[in-house]
Amino acid sequence: MDLAVVGIGFEGNAAATVILGVVVMVVAFALLYWRLKREKK
C-alpha cells in the first residue's frame, strides 16, 4: 500500500489523517489476531 497515494486529498486535514491511521492500525491488528487465533487450532 502506497501511503503517498492514499494521502492524496487528506493533505491539510489532520482529522482525516488521524482517522485513516487508526483504521489502518485496527485492520492490521485484526488481521494479526485472526491469523494467530486460526493457527492455534
Per-residue pLDDT at 7: 52
pLDDT, tens digit (0-9, with 9 covering 90-100), for 7-38: 555 556 777 778 888 999 999 999 999 999 99
Residue matched to cell numbers 489532520: 14
DSSP-assigned letters across all residues of 15-39: HHHHHHHHHHHHHHHHHHHHHHHHH
Total domains, the chain: 1
Higher pLDDT, 4 or 38: 38
pTM of the model: 0.53
Containing structural domain, residue 11: 3-39
Per-residue pLDDT at 10: 55
